[in-house]
């Protein structure tokens, strides 16, 4: 007997027939003799609608009320799935985040999970009851509802699996695994059988939304065995594993893209100590996440240009912060461009293999694509390009690194 956490995303619970399909899958796992906790997302489209409503009511809103609204989608699906299971003769009950509880910090809208008290749930599981748990939501130190950031049900599932010492955490979604790149971008994307935690973490943080970044970090930290698989087809998915479990190492394992970026250039920034600290310190204080940064050597020793990227949704706030610093710092202009996309190639094999960046730059040059900013880590090379070329770039790189599926794919 094993203890399993199964997580179903928005498309998998997108209507009542699909919820019945999920119930049948859950029933099969339970009837195989396992203890099962199921984590579900809201029906696909629901959370987007809820977010849109909060924005229509008030552009700058109270994040605590935002959480009350956007957490509601998952309340519907846990109830419906519990009903569907009961209809199949299975003992099941729903759990909202606060009922377990999933304790989080107080950063509404992107809260982090702290402690999960599983005492009662463990008893119920041992009695053969299936737990149907609302993903994406928790309860903050002020006893108010929190949410974990978009895609956060993956993190709910992994956190629950860690807290329950589960044998497996199966993430059921609308693709049958993790691919070499988003299968929506190229039909030549290939399913990966095993991927390391580190590579999955980089791919997720660079835009591959098949798993929320934090869920991968948490799985890595707690050694949770995660599998990504289809909720519609019965076939093996992708296992996220330790590096030692990978037999054949690729130099580049996958390619991610992130269209939600904006580029900001501060022109004529005085070249003196402390300026970068002031700029990036102020942006951080206003919760603006800065990603890539380039600063030129100043020619005259007096001033230079500073270019960096922020999340597209943070661009307005970044402008506000920088406008406020103009007097103190004395730069000459701000130029921003939301029409950019970050493309990243990821692979643990590049630690020992030179030439990965060269292939990337040459391939993009052959397609006439200009590189605006470059950044690297030990297992990743990222470039910022015009978003007009996103698909062209991903497809060309996919071919260049030998990732294309052969023949009929």
Site residues, Mg ion (CB under 5 A): 9, 151
Q: Does 210 bind ligand ADP (CB under 6 A)?
A: yes
Taking CB under 6 A as the rule, does residue 208 contact ligand ADP? yes
Could you tell me whether strands 254-270 and 290-295 are parallel, antiparallel, or unpaired per DSSP bridges? unpaired
Q: How far apart are CA 141 and CA 77, in angstroms?
A: 26
- Render 197-246 in DSSP notation, one character per residue: HHHHHHHHHTT-TTS-HHHHHHHHHHT--EEEEESSS-S--EEEE-GGG-
**CA nearest neighbour of 261 among 286, 233, 280, 289:** 289
Residue 150 interacts with, from ligand ASP, Mg ion, ligand ADP, none (CB under 5-8 Å by kind): ligand ASP
How many other CB atoms are found less than 10 A from the CB of residue 56? 8
Q: Which is nearer to ligand ADP, 34 or 153 (CB)?
A: 153
Select from ligand ADP, Mg ion, ligand ASP, none the partner in contact with residue 136, using the beta carbon and a kind-dependent cut-off of 5 to 8 Å.
ligand ASP
- Which of 95/401 has CB closer to ligand ASP? 95
- Tell me the closest approach of the beta carbon of residue 211 to Mg ion, in angstroms: 7
Q: How far is CA 244 from the centre of its chain?
A: 24
- For 138, how many CA atoms within 13 A lie in the half-sphere containing its CB? 29
Give the angle subtended at the CA of 73 by the CAs of 70 and 76, to the nearest 5°.
150
* Residue 210 contacts which entry, ligand ADP, Mg ion, ligand ASP, none (Cβ below 5-8 A, type-dependent): ligand ADP
CB 9 to Mg ion: min, Å: 5
Smallest distance, Å, CB 228 to ligand ADP?
A: 7
Please choose which of ligand ADP, ligand ASP, Mg ion, none residue 130 contacts, taking the beta carbon within 5 to 8 angstroms, the exact cut-off set by kind: none
> Closest distance between Mg ion and the C-beta of residue 183, in Å?
15
Query: And the tokens for 265?
Result: 């250039």
Least distance to ligand ADP, CB of residue 79, Å? 19
- The runs of H, that is alpha helices, within 109-212 are 119-126, 153-163, 197-205
Determine if 36 is a binding residue for ligand ADP (CB under 6 A): no
| CB closer to ligand ASP, 26 vs 400 | 26
Q: Contact residues for ligand ADP (CB under 6 A)?
A: 9-12, 41, 151, 173-175, 178-179, 181-184, 208-210, 254
């Amino acid at each position: 007997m094993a203890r399993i956490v199964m997580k179903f995303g928005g498309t998998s619970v997108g209507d009542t027939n699909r919820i019945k399909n999920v119930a049948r899958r859950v029933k099969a796992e339970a009837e195989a003799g396992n203890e099962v906790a199921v984590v579900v997302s809201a029906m696909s489209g629901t959370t987007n609608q809820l977010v849109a409503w909060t924005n229509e009511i008030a552009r700058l809103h109270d994040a605590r009320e935002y959480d009350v609204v956007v957490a509601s989608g998952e309340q519907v699906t846990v109830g419906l799935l519990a009903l569907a299971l009961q209809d199949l003769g299975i003992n099941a009950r729903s759990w909202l985040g606060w009922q377990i509880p999933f304790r989080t910090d107080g950063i509404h809208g992107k809260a982090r999970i702290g402690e999960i008290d599983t005492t009662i749930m463990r008893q119920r599981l041992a009695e053969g009851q299936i737990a149907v748990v609302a993903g994406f939501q928790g309860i903050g130190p002020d006893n108010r509802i929190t949410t974990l950031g978009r895609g956060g049900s993956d993190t709910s599932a992994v956190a629950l699996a860690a807290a329950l010492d589960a044998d497996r955490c199966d993430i059921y979604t609308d693709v049958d695994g993790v691919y070499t790149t988003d299968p929506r971008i190229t039909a030549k994307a290939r399913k990966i059988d095993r991927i390391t935690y580190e590579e999955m973490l980089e791919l997720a943080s660079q835009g591959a939304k098949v798993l929320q970044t934090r869920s991968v970090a948490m799985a890595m930290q707690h050694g949770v065995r995660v599998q990504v698989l289809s909720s519609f087809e019965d076939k093996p998915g992708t296992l996220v594993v330790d590096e030692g479990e990978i037999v054949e190492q690729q130099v580049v394992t996958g390619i991610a893209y992130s269209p939600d970026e904006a580029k900001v250039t501060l022109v004529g920034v005085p070249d003196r100590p402390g300026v970068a600290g002031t700029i990036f310190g102020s942006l951080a204080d206003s919760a603006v996440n800065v990603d890539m940064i380039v600063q030129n050597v100043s020619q005259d020793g007096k001033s230079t240009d500073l270019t960096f990227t922020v999340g597209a949704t943070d661009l307005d706030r970044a402008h506000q912060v920088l406008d406020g610093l103009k007097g103190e710092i004395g730069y000459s202009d701000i130029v921003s461009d939301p029409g950019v996309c970050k493309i990243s190639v990821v692979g643990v094999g590049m630690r020992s293999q030179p030439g990965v960046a060269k292939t990337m730059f040459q391939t993009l040059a052959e397609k006439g694509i200009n590189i605006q900013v470059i950044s690297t880590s030990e297992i990743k090379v990222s470039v910022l390009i015009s978003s007009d070329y996103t698909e062209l770039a991903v497809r060309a790189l996919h071919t260049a690194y030998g990732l294309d599926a052969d023949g009929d794919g």
